[in-house]
């Protein structure tokens, strides 16, 4: 009966999400586990956002606004674009799939870095597209090699900036050169899920390229610094012809009314976003200091996670940490054995992670 399943799916591995806190606690019979595995915000939604969502609850007997009209207008105003170029989805994950749905014919190619966000290969395979992976260079996108991998079959280039799982960025002058060098009929997708956390002047804003010669899509999300991952809401800015195509195939009510209300309010929280970005960079600085003390190499990050080389088996280490109530990602999933990808938590969570990491490193020494 397997032949009933669509061609191409056999090749796709299910997404392996970070394990939920409640599940880990139940399975291991522990309490007060902390999750530093999915690059979520360790803080809740902003208080005023919770209020806005509460208010919207009384009307959930109605379907949401299928066009996310007010949210799209708010995003458009904030970014200085027309609302007709904005698209909202169930997280940027859904928008990645929709982009593949509307852009890729079987055999079309999509260029991406490797390792990078693991959803890109999945959405390309789903459409029977061809994945063209370009190895990272010094943990960063090699934009020159990526441009060199473009053929007449290339439809999409994914630029994950900052890159997940390395936390590295490509710089403005590199992107300028890249955009100059590529053909006009290739869509460039800037996945900027962590953009609000970047505190580096050389970081380019994908929005600066939307009026250039190539079609550009900029994806952002409320799942990270806004602390709304559970709501599943993200957005994109894209040329009208792509937005129109997406509107043909997306679910009619793909974004909940509570999600829309929360996101609209959260877009007004610039001060709070800045404060969280500052806290994140303090958290990174603390982790670096502790990694240095423990003699561990890491990739300096511009996002809310960091890839650290622990010098021992990553699966074993993450299992040991899990038993201690600290949930992190083992690097092997991304092709980085002996590394962990750890999300920046609250100061207390970061301390606890370091304490347990130090303990497991001590007992693992042979
Ligand atoms: C680079 C990148 N893009 C997109 C996403 C998806 O985010 P969401 O679907 O929650 O908006 C993530 C989530 O981890 C990510 O790391």
- Is 191 near ligand 1, meaning CB less than 6 Å away? yes
- Is 223 near ligand 1, meaning CB less than 6 Å away? yes
Backbone φ and ψ of 357, nearest 5°: -65, -45
pLDDT at 133: 98
pLDDT at 366: 57
pLDDT at 314: 96
- Is 161 near ligand 1, meaning CB less than 6 Å away? no
Note whether 247 and 360 are same-domain residues. Answer: no
Quote the number of domains for the chain: 2
Helix (H, G, I), strand (E, B) or coil at 308: strand
- Encode pLDDT of 64-113 as tens digits: 999 999 999 999 999 999 999 999 999 999 999 999 999 999 999 999 99
pLDDT at 242: 98
When the pLDDT of each residue in the chain is averaged and rounded to a whole number, the result is 96
Note whether 94 and 230 are same-domain residues. Answer: yes
| Domain termination site, one of 269, 287, 317 | 269
Q: What's the 123 CA to ligand 1 centre distance in angstroms?
A: 13
Pairing of strands 154-160, 187-191: parallel
> In this structure, what token pair is assigned to residue 356?
């347990």
Q: Are 131 and 124 within 8 A, CB to CB? A: yes
Note whether 330 and 347 are same-domain residues. Answer: yes
Nearest alpha-carbon partner for 218 in 197, 243, 248, 188: 188
Q: H helices of 250-307, where?
A: 257-266, 270-294
Note whether 219 and 354 are same-domain residues. Answer: no
Note whether 94 and 157 are same-domain residues. Answer: yes
Q: What's the 43 CA to ligand 1 centre distance in angstroms?
A: 17
pLDDT at 202: 98
- Rounded to an integer, what distance in angstroms lies between the CA atom of residue 326 and that of residue 339? 15
Report, as an integer, the average pLDDT of 152-173. 98
The model's confidence at residue 24, banded by pLDDT at 50, 70 and 90, is confident
Q: What's the 305 CA to ligand 1 centre distance in angstroms?
A: 13
- Is 193 near ligand 1, meaning CB less than 6 Å away? yes
- Is 235 near ligand 1, meaning CB less than 6 Å away? no
- Is 122 near ligand 1, meaning CB less than 6 Å away? no
Backbone φ and ψ of 80, nearest 5°: 70, 40
- Encode pLDDT of 171-201 as tens digits: 999 999 999 999 999 999 999 999 999 999 9
Note whether 229 and 327 are same-domain residues. Answer: no
CATH code for position 29: 3.90.1150.10
Q: Are 237 and 217 within 8 A, CB to CB? A: yes
Looking at the CA of residue 95, tell me the nearest atom of ligand 1.
Answer: 9
Note whether 129 and 225 are same-domain residues. Answer: yes
Q: Given strand 234-237, what is the order of strands in its sheet? A: 86-89, 234-237, 216-221, 187-191, 154-160, 109-114, 130-135
Note whether 27 and 71 are same-domain residues. Answer: no
Q: Are 155 and 164 within 8 A, CB to CB? A: no
Sign of CA pseudo-dihedral 298, 299, 302, 307: negative
- Is 229 near ligand 1, meaning CB less than 6 Å away? yes
- Encode pLDDT of 305-346 as tens digits: 999 999 999 999 999 999 999 999 999 999 999 999 999 999
Note whether 20 and 129 are same-domain residues. Answer: no
- Rounded to an integer, what distance in angstroms lies between the CA atom of residue 349 and that of residue 171? 31
| Domain termination site, one of 200, 234, 269 | 269
Note whether 68 and 171 are same-domain residues. Answer: yes
Nearest CA to ligand 1 atom 7: 92
Going from the C-alpha of 58 to that of each of 45, 67, 71, 90, 232, the distances in angstroms are 19, 20, 19, 21, 20
- Rounded to an integer, what distance in angstroms lies between the CA atom of residue 198 and that of residue 243? 27
Nearest CA to ligand 1 atom 15: 193
Best residue among 40, 93, 94 to mutate for probing ligand 1, ranked by most atoms within 8 Å of CB: 93
Going from the C-alpha of 61 to that of each of 69, 88, 264, the distances in angstroms are 19, 21, 20
- Encode pLDDT of 237-288 as tens digits: 999 999 999 999 999 999 999 999 999 999 999 999 999 999 999 999 999 9
Provide, rounded to the nearest whole percent, the portion of the chain with pLDDT above 70. Answer: 100
Pairing of strands 154-160, 109-114: parallel
As a whole number of Å, the CA-based R_g of the chain is 21
pLDDT at 30: 87
Going from the C-alpha of 80 to that of each of 65, 72, 87, 158, 247, the distances in angstroms are 22, 12, 15, 23, 21
- Rounded to an integer, what distance in angstroms lies between the CA atom of residue 284 and that of residue 345? 9
Q: Does the pLDDT value for residue 2 go beyond 80? A: no
Domain, as residue range, for 294: 2-44+271-365
Nearest CA to ligand 1 atom 8: 91
pLDDT at 3: 82
pLDDT at 19: 81
Note whether 119 and 253 are same-domain residues. Answer: yes
Q: Does the pLDDT value for residue 13 go beyond 90? A: no
Report, as an integer, the average pLDDT of 132-136. 98
Pairing of strands 86-89, 329-330: unpaired
- Is 109 near ligand 1, meaning CB less than 6 Å away? no
CATH code for position 159: 3.40.640.10
Q: Are 235 and 317 within 8 A, CB to CB? A: no
| Domain termination site, one of 223, 252, 269 | 269
- Is 89 near ligand 1, meaning CB less than 6 Å away? no
Q: What's the 23 CA to ligand 1 centre distance in angstroms?
A: 22
- Encode pLDDT of 32-55 as tens digits: 999 999 999 999 999 999 999 999
Note whether 335 and 244 are same-domain residues. Answer: no
> In this structure, what token pair is assigned to residue 91?
């997280």
Q: Are 97 and 126 within 8 A, CB to CB? A: yes
Whole-model pTM over 0.95 = yes
The model's confidence at residue 31, banded by pLDDT at 50, 70 and 90, is confident
């Amino acid at each position: 009966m397997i032949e009933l399943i669509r061609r191409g799916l056999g090749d796709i591995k299910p997404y392996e999400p970070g394990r939920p806190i409640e599940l880990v606690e139940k399975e291991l019979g522990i309490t007060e586990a902390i999750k530093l595995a999915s690059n979520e915000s360790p803080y809740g939604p902003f208080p005023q956002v919770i209020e806005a969502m509460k208010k919207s609850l009384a009307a959930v007997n109605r379907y949401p606004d299928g066009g996310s009209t007010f949210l799209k207008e708010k995003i458009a105003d904030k970014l200085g674009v027309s609302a007709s170029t904005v698209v909202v989805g169930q997280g940027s994950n859904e928008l990645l799939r929709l982009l593949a749905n509307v852009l890729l014919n079987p055999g079309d190619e999509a260029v991406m870095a490797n390792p990078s966000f693991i959803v890109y290969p999945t959405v390309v395979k789903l459409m029977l597209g061809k994945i063209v992976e370009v190895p990272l260079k010094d943990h960063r996108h090699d934009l020159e090699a990526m441009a060199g991998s473009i053929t007449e079959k290339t439809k999409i280039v994914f630029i994950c900036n900052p890159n997940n799982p390395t936390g590295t960025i490509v710089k403005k002058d590199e992107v300028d050169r890249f955009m100059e060098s590529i053909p006009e009929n290739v869509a460039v997708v800037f996945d900027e899920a962590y953009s609000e956390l970047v505190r580096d002047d050389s970081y380019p804003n994908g929005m600066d390229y939307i009026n250039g010669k190539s079609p550009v899509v900029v994806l952002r999300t409320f799942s990270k610094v806004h602390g709304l991952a559970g709501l599943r809401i993200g957005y994109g800015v894209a040329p009208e012809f792509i937005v129109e195509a997406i509107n043909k195939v997306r679910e009619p009510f793909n974004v909940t009314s509570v999600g829309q209300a929360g996101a609209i309010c959260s877009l007004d929280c610039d001060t709070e976003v800045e404060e969280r970005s500052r806290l994140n960079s303090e958290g990174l600085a603390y982790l670096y200091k502790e990694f240095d003390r423990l003699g561990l190499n890491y990739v300096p990050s511009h996002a809310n996670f960091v890839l650290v080389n622990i010098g021992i088996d990553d699966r074993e280490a993450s299992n040991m940490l899990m038993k201690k109530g600290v949930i992190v990602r083992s690097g092997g999933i991304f092709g980085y054995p002996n590394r962990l990808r750890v999300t920046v938590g609250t100061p207390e969570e970061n301390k606890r992670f370091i304490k347990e990491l130090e303990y497991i490193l001590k007992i693992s020494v042979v």
